[in-house]
Amino acid sequence: MVDPVRPISLAEIEEARGRVAGTVLRTPLVRLDAGAGAPEIYLKLENLQPTNAYKIRGATNAVACLSDEQRARGVWTISAGNAGQGVAYAARARGVPCSIVAIETAPQTKLDRMRALGATIVPVSYTEAWKAAEAHAFEGMAGTFIHPFDNHDFIAGHGTMGLEIVEDLPDVRTVICAIGGGGLITGVGSAVKAVRPGVDVIGAEPETAAPYAYSLAAGAPSKFPDWQASFVDGAGGQSVTERMWQRMRPLVDRSIVVTLDETRRSMRLIADKARAIAEGAGALSLAAALSGKAGDGPIVCVVSGGNIDLKKFAELVTAP
């Protein structure tokens, strides 16, 4: 039985911050010199987390909230890599068995790291994984399911990032997060809107997979037509589920769709100016900020992760 959707309260996010302390880093917020004429941009470097992605926030909180009986049964999740690493890391820290229904086309770096964290991998196609995420079930999996984005405790954990943003940059005007399933922007938006109601919370999606922008235009949660896989594997789902639509609509002001070339150039800019590695999904927010559609700032771009094969990263950032 799936719990009904309800808002994430500020108190729940503050409680989550206590639970994840000691495991999750308070990541730096750094000013980015994006060149003449660019807006005032700051990068929230979640790629510096122990698993090199923000998902460790939600995973740590979700595992901490489980009962002893639930932990004894083990946990499982669905992942293209970052959620799997987060859940596996949190589970290993508490001695909990972990299995992951993993998208078989995920970067080898992500698959290898999930295995290194002790997770049992069940490879499936992207379509099979997305169906399982929508159904909250996958045949043959035992234990407690921790949904990679539609889980109240998981989202509350992500909200801890929003608290850090408004504490470190009180005059922030806009926060941009990539949208995959919607858990990141729901968590961050829940915290930011609770503390700074006037701040714009904006989604960023790749042109090849922009279901939230498409759903906004349609006025209802929708499947994105002509969905395509790309190097932006950590964001850009096939559709917006009804439950995540309910979660995001009160919090997300709009979504900016960017091209793959804009995303690739943003990966290069982050590497060049901040000396940090961002995967495709991690650079979407900066691409959106540089599009001219997010205002003058101060803008905080969440660099959600840096898990990408180095050879692929080098190819993308050195391409003409």
| Tens-digit pLDDT profile for residues 3-49 | 899 999 999 999 999 999 999 999 999 999 988 889 999 999 999 99
Q: Are residues 34 and 68 in the same domain?
A: no
Q: Are residues 224 and 124 in the same domain?
A: no
Is residue 157 within 8 Å of residue 15, measured between CB atoms?
no
Distances (CA, A) of 299 to 188, 199, 202: 14, 10, 10
What are 38-80's pLDDT values in tens digits?
Answer: 999 999 999 999 999 999 999 999 999 999 999 999 999 998 8
Q: Which of 119, 145, 171 is the last residue of a domain?
A: 145
* CATH number of domain containing 76: 3.40.50.1100
Is residue 261 within 8 Å of residue 319, measured between CB atoms?
no
Which residue carries 């159904």 as its tokens?
Answer: 135
Q: Are residues 31 and 131 in the same domain?
A: no
Establish if 107 belongs to a structural domain. yes
Number of structural domains (the chain) is 2
Establish if 288 belongs to a structural domain. yes
pLDDT, averaged across the chain: 95
Asked if pLDDT for residue 1 goes beyond 80, the answer is no
Burial (CB < 10 A; 0-12, 13-18, 19+), residue 225, is exposed
Establish if 250 belongs to a structural domain. yes
Q: Are residues 131 and 207 in the same domain?
A: no
Q: Are residues 187 and 277 in the same domain?
A: yes
Establish if 27 belongs to a structural domain. yes
Q: Are residues 189 and 288 in the same domain?
A: yes
Q: Are residues 216 and 70 in the same domain?
A: no
pLDDT at position 96, please? 95
What are 254-301's pLDDT values in tens digits?
Answer: 999 999 999 999 999 999 999 999 999 999 999 999 999 999 989 999
Containing domain of residue 278, as a range?
10-53+152-318
Q: Are residues 46 and 194 in the same domain?
A: yes
Asked if pLDDT for residue 111 goes beyond 80, the answer is yes
Establish if 2 belongs to a structural domain. no
pLDDT band at 172 (very low <50, low <70, confident <90, very high): very high
Strand, coil or helix: what is 149?
coil
Q: Which of 113, 145, 177 is the last residue of a domain?
A: 145
CA nearest 247: which of 205, 203, 278, 207?
203
Q: Are residues 183 and 296 in the same domain?
A: yes
Q: Which of 82, 113, 145 is the last residue of a domain?
A: 145
